[in-house]
Amino acid sequence: MTLSLQGTGVSNGVAIGPVHILQRDSLEILEYALGEEFIEAEVTRFQRALALVKEQLRFVRNKIPSHTQSDITAFIDTHLLMLDDSTLSKVPISIILERRCNAEWALKTQRDALVKVFDEMNDPYLRTRRDDIDHVVTSIQRELLSSPMYHHVNHIQEQRFSGHVIVADDLSPADTVLMQHQGIAAFITESGGPTSHTAILARSLNIPAIVGLHHARHMLIDFETIIVDGQQGVVLAKPESNMVQHYQSKKRENQQLIERHKQSRDIPAVTKDGKKIALRANIELIEDVIAMKALGANGVGLFRTEYLFMNRETSPPEQEQFETYCQVLDELDGQVLTIRTLDLGADKQVDGGRHDLNNITNPALGLRAIRLCLQDPDIFLPQLRAILRASAHGSIRIMLPMISNAQEVIQIRQQIASVCQQLAREGIAYDPNIQIGGMVEVPAAAVNACMLCEYLDFLSIGTNDLIQYTLAIDRIDDEVNYLYDPLNPAVLTLIANVINAGNKANIPVAMCGEMAGDAMFTRLLLAMGLKEFSMHPNALAEVKEVILNSDVTRLQPKAEALLNCTSHNQFQDLLDQFSHH
């Protein structure tokens, strides 16, 4: 009988494929090919992991009370001896050098070879030594995996996830990117919400995805074929053949819809009453620029630069960042590129554990985004220099995330000014009139938008965080997903306040949170006076369709009535009018 499971659909599309369950406790070891220049660093990484495991074992050994059975000490001593033995300390290094692969894979190769020898032994005692090998190898693997080497990746050799539906308790944005390279068909996670960064990334990578499906790993079976409907949030296990046919045709329809939308790419987004609307793209990876160009966006409204910092141990150096920004500019052929300065922290953790956020009770309320950058000039200043240098080569705007007061903007402006002076002294070109905008994501910034306008050249409303903070719901906590409501009157009041503040100060106001890319809200936002929308490229065509069919002049009085409404029922009635207009 078919088993139907319901989660939260966060990225549209249908997938039909075998399940691959990721258990956090069992280590997933993949093979990566390394460039010549990374081999030495990889050997050092292996040696460091080995040294750390030895240190831990010695520490444990010293903690064993002297009256304890000597067996336990002997057990640890055996492991220490194994760590010194060339079969584990030297052979994996030769494998790294010969195969030019990652340390995890080299160690796994050697482990498999050793285990095979033990398995063939007749002596039951010696066969138990196999478990010791596994214990020691697992400890080293854990150390290695906690200091990932993904930045060495040239390409992923093993395509073991290709066509599979990944089922996990949670996936980090970094995992999601890596898996997309492996051609996964869809993913399902037990936790997470619709505006978590992993969900946003799934949409931008075009991977059907469902989050918040509790106990998925227990209810689904490895390798069984399932159907995933990323729009409805439905998973069907053991589907009947007519269901498979139904979803296959749905998959084809989706494909046709995408093709149809591509055809509208060159039509400008102008409302029926002649208002020109800017439709920009949110990008995370350089590949997104290609997608957005194919879909006809007017430049980039949000470049989430933190993805340049993911899957690597150290921050990308200034020159590398500069080259990336220039590369994006090249692709944009003169269209605007809005670069958001680093928004690390909360559910976007990178940087090789440099900022250990695990011990923070409320990471979303902690040292993240602009707060973290202001505290850590080693991360921030190279990025500012890279952006400013790139600004000499095209149209760039700087956008600051998570602003909560004017003082922060003043401080950043001072830092930007001093970087500019430094560049001028060095004879390096930059755009002296570069626009500096702020994201309105903290309710305080929305309420006080008019005062922030004094120091900013444009505003962009980040509804993902603004809704999280206004409604006090953690965007990655699936237990409170149901409270996520962009149409909550308090949220709409804040958005209206920001748009009005921008209009009064005569500075542009954009929206770049997920709300801007949901065609359900387009009419209302137009009526509220929004003229610039930035979204994941896949949403552009649908939003454009609504814009082409909307008459803003007629809608405006309804928006005014909605925002002045004091009765819940009346509010709902007025909202309905926007969807049926």
Query: Is 326 an active-site residue?
Result: no
CB of 196 to Mg ion, least distance (A): 11
| Contact status: 462 vs Mg ion (CB under 5 A) | yes
Helix axes 377-390, 318-332, angle to 10 degrees: 40
Dihedrals φ, ψ of 547, to 5°?
-60, -45
CB of 436 to ligand PEP, least distance (A): 17
Task: Give the number of residues written for the chain.
Answer: 581
From ligand PEP, Mg ion, none, which one binds at residue 284 (CB under 5 to 8 Å depending on kind)?
A: none
CB of 532 to ligand PEP, least distance (A): 13
Q: Among residues 93 and 302, whose Cβ is nearest to ligand PEP?
A: 302
Using CA atoms, how far apart are residues 422 and 560, in angstroms rounded to an integer? 48
Binding residues for ligand PEP, rule: CB under 6 A, are 200, 302, 304, 343, 441, 462-465, 512-513
Matching residue, tokens 């993904």? 150
Q: Among residues 207 and 515, whose Cβ is nearest to ligand PEP?
A: 515
Per the structure block, which two tokens stand in for 38? Answer: 């990374």
CB of 462 to ligand PEP, least distance (A): 3
For residue 425, which amino acid is it? R
Show contacts with Mg ion in window 429-458 (CB under 5 A): 441
Using CA atoms, how far apart are residues 292 and 338, in angstroms rounded to an integer? 14
Q: Which residue minimizes CB distance to Mg ion?
A: 465
From Mg ion, ligand PEP, none, which one binds at residue 190 (CB under 5 to 8 Å depending on kind)?
A: none
Per the structure block, which two tokens stand in for 46? Answer: 């292996």
| Contact status: 347 vs Mg ion (CB under 5 A) | no
Q: Is 28 helix (H, G, I), strand (E, B) or coil?
A: coil
- Are 323 and 316 in contact by the 8 Å Cβ rule? The answer is no
| H/E element, 361 | none
Instruction: Considering the candidates 20, 453, 512, 536, report the single residue annotated as catalytic.
Output: 512
From Mg ion, ligand PEP, none, which one binds at residue 208 (CB under 5 to 8 Å depending on kind)?
A: none
Number of residues that bind Mg ion (CB under 5 A): 3
Q: Among residues 247 and 469, whose Cβ is nearest to ligand PEP?
A: 469
| H/E element, 9 | strand 8-11
Q: Among residues 103 and 283, whose Cβ is nearest to ligand PEP?
A: 283
Q: Among residues 153 and 300, whose Cβ is nearest to Mg ion?
A: 300
- Are 404 and 442 in contact by the 8 Å Cβ rule? The answer is yes
From Mg ion, ligand PEP, none, which one binds at residue 513 (CB under 5 to 8 Å depending on kind)?
A: ligand PEP
Lay out the sheet containing 8-11: strands in order across. Answer: 3-6, 234-237, 225-229, 14-21, 165-168, 186-189, 209-211, 8-11
398 burial level (CB within 10 Å; 0-12, 13-18, 19+)? buried
Name the β-bridge partners of 203: none
| Contact status: 194 vs Mg ion (CB under 5 A) | no
List the end-to-end C-alpha distance of the chain, in Å, as a whole number. 43
CB of 510 to ligand PEP, least distance (A): 10
From Mg ion, ligand PEP, none, which one binds at residue 304 (CB under 5 to 8 Å depending on kind)?
A: ligand PEP
Residue from 465, 474, 514, 532 in contact with Mg ion (CB under 5 A) = 465
Query: Is 373 an active-site residue?
Result: no
From ligand PEP, Mg ion, none, which one binds at residue 512 (CB under 5 to 8 Å depending on kind)?
A: ligand PEP
Q: Is 137 helix (H, G, I), strand (E, B) or coil?
A: helix
Q: Among residues 92 and 462, whose Cβ is nearest to ligand PEP?
A: 462
435-440 vs 532-535, strand pairing mode: unpaired
CB of 440 to Mg ion, least distance (A): 10
CB of 466 to ligand PEP, least distance (A): 6
Instruction: Considering the candidates 20, 164, 197, 536, report the single residue annotated as catalytic.
Output: 197
Q: Among residues 164 and 368, whose Cβ is nearest to ligand PEP?
A: 368
Neighbours of 579 (CB within 10 A): 10
Give the binding site for Mg ion (CB under 5 A): 441, 462, 465
Catalytic residues: 197, 512
